Amino acid sequence: MLKTPIELYKLYRDRKTAEKIVRRIHDLAKSIGYKIKIMNFCGTHEYTITYYGIRSLMPENIELVAGPGCPVCIVPARYIDVCVDLALSGITVFTYGDMYRVPGSKLSLAEARSRGGKVKVVYGFLDVLKHRELKEAVFFGVGFETTQPTVASRIAENFVPNSLKILSAYRLTPPIMRYLLENNVVELHGVIAPGHVSTIIGSSSWEFLPEEFQIPTVVAGFEPIDVLLAILNIVEQIFSGKAYLYNEYSRVVKREGNILAKKYVEECFEVCDASWRGIGVVSRSGLSFRKKYEKYDAVVEYGLNLKGGVDVKPGCRCSDVILGKAKPTDCPFFMKTCTPRHPYGPCMVSSEGTCSIWARYGSLPRNSEAEESEDK
């Protein structure tokens, strides 16, 4: 008999089930003996791990580290800079709420708006299309594979007015994981692959991790039991000595992904080398407009220069946090001069930013001065 949504909700948050899984993880980890480092790619996974205290349930030899799964955090500062310039010049810039406060080299879009810049915050691209009266406007296209199909489908179906241009800061997730491993940026023993992204690109997109790098990989959902099952499966793979791809989120993710969504994206965009904030250029990790649709490209329309910019401010360790090389608490500014109310680095802004998640939901003691300023 099929379970109701409420029954499923309770199932994936069941305490007794969680306790059984945790006990099994401890038993296997003890048998393995050595240190196991598992990277959860997605910012929503990091939220689940931190909010529900999953790290505190792990044995001493299992470390859960956050990866580059915040699409806002990895947008180069120069992209923000050009949007600030456009807004201050009188061109309306549409942006997502979590991109609004991310620092550029000097200003965020929020600060540009406070100085008279034309900036509008939208929930999604469909909201932008409601503003057809604007003669000049730019949509700041930010995100991984989940946000790209909506834009691509509207362009391909000719629903986008010629007055609207798009700045593509779109990035692709499998290439950044390949970059981390090929460049030995961080030693990993397992990867929890992003569930939302995988609904679009399919679980098969992650097969290269176990096949080429012998790293156990699990595509996981976002409830506490989803994450615990992913960790357990990775530990079981390590214990067995055989790495493979497991789709724990099969209730949503299919091997082939969303074929129609992928078709629209391929129609409008082509894969290109792209810069990631604090990381540098990553091969074939971004999307640029195909020649057929260049009339929508803000770079072409306004002759934008996307080189340069200050990605990493002095002392900020956001780039190390994004790469899984450091924890937020390793940064000297965390919850001192850098707080959710007054972010110094990009990882402290978005709901998917690791520093923001740790600041809001972590169990570590907060700096008293920062805490007082946040509460005012």
DSSP one-letter string for 170-214: EB-HHHHHHHHHHTT-S--SEEEE-HHHHHHH-GGGGTHHHHHH-
Provide the token pair at 316: 């900020």
For the segment(s) 77-173+257-302, the CATH number from 3.40.50.11740, 3.40.630.10, 2.60.40.10, 1.10.10.60 is 3.40.50.11740
Residue located via tokens 């300023």: 373
User: ∠ CA 198-203-206 to the nearest 5 degrees?
Assistant: 100
Q: What is the C-alpha to C-alpha distance for residues 30 and 57, in angstroms, rounded to an integer?
A: 14
Q: What is the C-alpha to C-alpha distance for residues 147 and 231, in angstroms, rounded to an integer?
A: 27
Same CATH topology for 5-69+185-247 and 77-173+257-302?
Answer: yes
In this prediction, residue 6 carries a pLDDT of: 77
- Contact, 206 vs 243, CB < 8 A? no
In this prediction, residue 2 carries a pLDDT of: 63
Is the full-model pTM beyond 0.75? Answer: yes
Q: What is the C-alpha to C-alpha distance for residues 290 and 269, in angstroms, rounded to an integer?
A: 5
- In this predicted model, what pLDDT tens digit does every residue of 300-359 receive, in sequence order? 999 999 999 999 999 999 999 999 999 999 999 999 999 999 999 999 999 999 999 999
CATH topology of domain 5-69+185-247: Rossmann fold (3.40.50)
Q: Name the phi and psi angles at 225, rounded to 5.
A: -65, -35
Give pLDDT < 70 ranges for the chain. 1-2, 363-376
Q: How far is the CA of 232 from the CAs of 3, 52, 315, in angstroms?
A: 24, 17, 36
Residue located via tokens 């956001």: 318
Per domain, the residue ranges of the chain are 5-69+185-247, 77-173+257-302, 318-375
In this prediction, residue 362 carries a pLDDT of: 87
- Contact, 77 vs 107, CB < 8 A? no
**Closest to 74 (Cα-Cα) out of 342, 308, 323:** 323
Angle between helices 148-156 and 259-268 (to 10 degrees): 70
Please tell me what DSSP assigns to residue 322: H
- 3-state helix, strand, coil split of the chain in percent (to 5) is 45, 15, 40
- In this predicted model, what pLDDT tens digit does every residue of 239-289 receive, in sequence order? 999 999 999 999 999 999 999 999 999 999 999 999 999 999 999 999 999
Q: What is the C-alpha to C-alpha distance for residues 267 and 260, in angstroms, rounded to an integer?
A: 11
